[in-house]
Amino acid sequence: MNSRVKTLAFVYVIGFSILLLKLIQIQLFETEHYSKRGINLLNASVKQRTVQYTIDEGRGHFVDRNGQPLSFKKSQQVVIFPSIRKYFHEEKKESLTVNPYLVNDSVDEEMNLHGVQINKILPSYQLATQFLGIVGENEQEFLNRYPWSEGKDTQPIGQSGLQKQFDEWLISDQTTKLLYHVDALGQPLFGLDVKYTAPTNPYFPLMIQTTIDKNIQEKLEAYLDRIGIHSGGVLLLDAKRSEILASVSRPKLSIGDPYSSKGIENKMFKQVTPGSVFKMVVLAAAFEEGLIDERETFDCSKDIYGHEEVDRPEGMLTVKESLAFSCNRTFAELSQRLGEKDPALLEKYANKLGLIGGSGWKGTVFHVEEFRQLDEDQGRVFLSSAPVNSERLKETGIGQSDVQVTPLGVASLMNVIANGGDRYSVKGVNQIQFQNGTSYFSFSKQRMDGDGLSPYTTMKLQEYLRYVVESPKGTGHSLRSLPVAVAGKSGTAEVMEEQGNETYHKWFAGYFPFHQPKYVLVVVNENTSEAGISGQKMFYDIVNILYSHE
């Protein structure tokens, strides 16, 4: 019996000793770095006993080119704590007002409310969502980007778009919030002070002044919603400044589930098959390399492989007519000639026109070298692994095979032509600004590296693009009735979906007014049916919207 008692007592002593040692470990030795997860127990204890109501997360905001807010909206709000209603007596209610008033159950009855609660609701819609991007909490990624922040509170970081590219300047320094203590049931302890904290530096957080025109962006967003484009979008540039005025991408971004339906992707910066839009590269290369005789004709009653074209027997056409009527045979032959001279020529001129290799502004911003404003795909002409044979060259010449470009790259190509061969990087941001609107860093207009096209070739490209619209049989002839003269090129790329269905990317890219270019516009309706809305129709409508806006 005594032996059993001693054994039991020994077990109790050992058990309590272990618990005591654990308590010592927690309270004395590892209070700020407990377990392998490195938990700060002091901070966790404070968090358990306090609740915060965030007024402003402190993260930097985005404004448009005119200083209008894009990513935020200021509004006056009332914070109500329902649990304090019991502290109000009838006589106090009467002393608080001299006018008729509603209290307690009367409020519930009149407003159909069952108790007054505070709900933090994320905005369900925001302008240029894919262009601006989203933020979210990711502790590991936060520490990867900012290793010096270990031990501090994790902050929301940019996950996509400009939020991600400019995260280093947008990250919050201090939030504006109310802190109050709660009891075991989570009820506010108003015997203790409510603490208000806010940034003390009037110059921060920084703001990002984008190149977006809010009014135009709103109109183009509404237009795409109205016509029901499911995939694709619109990109509008200021031709003189090489700046993005509007960027609309579909499918829409769902704030509640951003990674569904590829809504988080900015389709304007994602590469897809261009179709006949790529013929501009073939045309530019052939002019520069002296491979074009403008009197030469091509048999456009045949397809690119030399077989009879049943659907479109166009007959013999010159290069100029071939571009206007979108004859594939001509550009397949020109592409083959270029490949026979030098297989690298198509890539060389695609790069000269800004179609591949990236078109967005890049450079050094303070200590950040090779900073890129825009998270864009680079595009390609060939897959490096496959041999460049005759058949592949023909398919490449009409923008099929391995060719992949972004709408941003196509906009850059049109911008180069519109500006007489001058090559500038495309900007999406003008300035990083202090909170008071003064400049912290300005992004200057930036020439692209390398040589451009000759003035003669550029002049010919302008002439041919205008003929696409002027010619009665041109694919852009429907644009002749617009209030301004337009030059541009259509494209219809045939693509095969994973399910085996054939769909189409319908493009139109161009600039206007023709003689004094002000805008560059690229539209694309991706993965649509043969009867889907054409690029020409979208282009036509948007030009009308812009000039009704002006």
Q: What is residue 38's predicted lDDT score, i.e. its pLDDT?
A: 61
Q: What is residue 76's predicted lDDT score, i.e. its pLDDT?
A: 64
**Catalytically annotated residues:** 276
Kindly report the pTM of this predicted structure: 0.82
- Which residue, chain included where needed, has tokens 């272990």? 18
Q: What is residue 87's predicted lDDT score, i.e. its pLDDT?
A: 47
Strand, helix or coil for residue 523: strand
Beta carbons within 8 Å of 128's beta carbon, 6+ residues apart? 70, 210, 212, 217, 221, 246, 247, 248
DSSP per residue over 399-422, as a string? T-TT-BB-HHHHHHHHHHHHTTT-
* Residue 419 structure tokens: 């500006």
Q: Phi and psi dihedrals of 332, rounded to 5?
A: -70, -40
41-79+118-209 CATH pick, 3.20.20.150, 2.60.40.3880, 3.60.20.10, 3.90.1310.10: 3.90.1310.10
DSSP per residue over 201-248, as a string? -TT-S-EEEES--HHHHHHHHHHHHHHT--SEEEEEEETTTTEEEEEE
- Which residue, chain included where needed, has tokens 């402190």? 58
As a whole number of angstroms, the distance between CA 533 and CA 538 comes to 7
CATH fold for the domain made of 211-549: Beta-lactamase (3.40.710)
DSSP per residue over 458-521, as a string? HHHHHHHHHHHHHSTTSTTGGGGGSSS--EEEEEEEEEE-TTS-EEEEEEEEEEESSSS--EEE
The answer to whether residues 341 and 289 touch, using CB atoms and an 8 Å cutoff, is yes
The answer to whether residues 60 and 170 touch, using CB atoms and an 8 Å cutoff, is yes
Average pLDDT per block of 10 residues along the chain, 550 residues long: 75 81 68 65 61 75 95 67 51 52 48 40 64 91 85 83 96 74 68 67 90 98 96 98 98 84 92 98 98 96 85 89 97 97 96 95 94 97 84 96 97 98 97 95 94 95 99 97 98 87 96 98 97 98 89
Q: What is residue 44's predicted lDDT score, i.e. its pLDDT?
A: 59
Sketch the domain layout of the chain as residue ranges.
41-79+118-209, 211-549
Q: Helix crossing, 328-341 with 345-352: angle to 10°?
A: 110
Write the CA distances from 490 to 247, 264, 378, integer angstroms: 19, 27, 22
Please calculate the CA angle 438-443-446 and round it to the nearest 5 degrees: 155
Cα Rg, the chain, nearest whole Å: 31
SS (H, E, C) 286-341: HHHCCCCCCCCCEECCECCCCCECCCCCCCEECHHHHHHHCCHHHHHHHHHHHHHH
Q: What is residue 153's predicted lDDT score, i.e. its pLDDT?
A: 72
Per DSSP bridges, beta strands 61-63 and 207-210 are parallel
